[in-house]
Amino acid sequence: MDYDFKTKLAAERERVEDLFEYEGCKVGRGTYGHVYKAKRKDGKDEKEYALKQIEGTGISMSACREIALLRELKHPNVIALQKVFLSHSDRKVWLLFDYAEHDLWHIIKFHRASKANKKPMQLPRGMVKSLLYQILDGIHYLHANWVLHRDLKPANILVMGEGPERGRVKIADMGFARLFNSPLKPLADLDPVVVTFWYRAPELLLGARHYTKAIDIWAIGCIFAELLTSEPIFHCRQEDIKTSNPFHHDQLDRIFSVMGFPADKDWEDIRKMPEYPTLQKDFRRTTITSEQALQDPYFLEEPLPTSDVFAGCQIPYPKREFLNEDEPEEKTEKVQLHLTQQCCWTEDIPPTKNIQPTASCGQRPMTIDEGLEDDQHKLSSNR
């Protein structure tokens, strides 16, 4: 915590309820709490904020980890933690973020619903490229600073709405993130199995404890495929909760049915995986780094990636709806299929502002203390 925070008496500290208006403005659930859309009461700015209330009393290790990491990490494509509030009256902890109006889960759902209603509208390829580039740039920054995200999925990829950062990707929900070393240390046996099944790399499904940055790259590949098709590439049924048993036979079957079975020469470490004996046959397993992915010729072809993924066009996606306090988010979701006639999404629109490759990989490691919709939404995510 800040020195100023630690030296002030409880009565002297700023209280979130005195500073922000957020009652009745619940917009989602995170890994460990509710998320509210908020505005300052004093009217000093018209900016919208996201207030995350940590569930329960006190603060969990997951929340501590997210706070510690986000106070150190600063990148345009990583969500910025603005402030931490601690209420002594009810022992609640609040995290203040910039508000993102959209996320990839809702964007993909919008396009999937249009396809189901026989009014298909694919994501423009320029938008897909811009989204992918910004996701890779943010993950490249995390990896360059020795951080694994470990829970990448569409719901954790936010996109800013109208405002100074319009169309900017923000990687969110660092509750499962970990620092890693080289060589990597094994994760503790009590560490929860991470990454939603559909985006979980084969080594995780095979029980690996020594895993690498490749698990984030695999998840990004799954997200890329979903952006192109509006469907999860490795969709299968999954349990309601994250289990301590990493092996999930149906998910492996789905991956192998799409990509083929991994041969020893393509994945030399496969025989070392704890669950390898359960497999029967001989899936190309070559994973590139985020830095290599950013240098792919794909990003040099027209249309070039832009800093505004909406490419200056009117945003067709509906704003988030407010949720009832006691009602799960998936029960109140409504897909609005009305597309604005002013939407200028066509393939020949020139990019408004091309993104130049960043130098984040050159930074030194930091010191840090460390259905489809029901299935995906049951493992709720950060907003």
Pairing mode, if any, of strands 92-98 and 81-87?
antiparallel
* Cβ pair 382, 30 in contact under 8 A: yes
- What is the number of other CB atoms lying within 10 angstroms of the CB of residue 63? 23
- Residue 11 is predicted with a pLDDT of 59
**pLDDT at position 281 over 50:** no
Residue of 197, 190, 158, 168 lying closest to 52 (CA atoms): 158
Within 10 angstroms of residue 270's Cβ, the number of other Cβ atoms is: 20
Displacement of CA 214 from its chain's centroid (Å)? 16
* Alpha-carbon span 314 to 260, nearest angstrom: 41
Percent of the chain with pLDDT over 70: 66
Q: What is the pTM of this model?
A: 0.76
Q: Exposure pattern of 299-323 as b/e (b: 16+ CB <10 Å)?
A: beeebbbbbbbbbebebbbeebeeb
For residue 96, which phi and psi values (nearest 5 degrees)? -110, 125
Which residues are tagged catalytic?
151
Cα–Cα distance measured from residue 33 to residue 30, given in angstroms and rounded to the nearest whole number: 5
Model confidence pLDDT, tens digit, residues 329-359: 554 444 333 433 333 343 333 444 555 544 4
Residue 33 is predicted with a pLDDT of 77
Query: Do residues 38 and 48 make contact, with C-beta atoms less than 8 angstroms apart?
Result: yes
> What phi and psi, each to the nearest 5 degrees, are found at residue 146?
65, 40
Give the mean pLDDT of the chain. 75
User: Could you give the CA distance from residue 262 to residue 247 in angstroms, rounded to a whole number?
Assistant: 17
Best CA proximity match to 192, nearest among 15, 14, 379: 379
User: What pLDDT sits at residue 207?
Assistant: 74
SS3 state at 54 = strand
Q: Which domains does the chain have, with CATH numbers?
A: 16-98 (3.30.200.20), 102-378 (1.10.510.10)
Which residues 6+ apart lie within 8 Å of 18 measured at CB? 41
pLDDT at 59 over 70: yes
Least reliable range by pLDDT among 5-19, 267-281, 343-357, 360-374: 360-374
What pLDDT, in 10s, does the model give residues 75-101? Answer: 999 999 999 998 777 778 899 999 999
Task: List for the chain the helix, strand, coil content (%; round to 5).
Answer: 35, 15, 55
Q: Are strands 102-103 and 20-21 parallel, antiparallel or unpaired?
A: unpaired
Stretch (H or E) spanning 28: strand 26-29
Token pair for residue 73? 């990490």
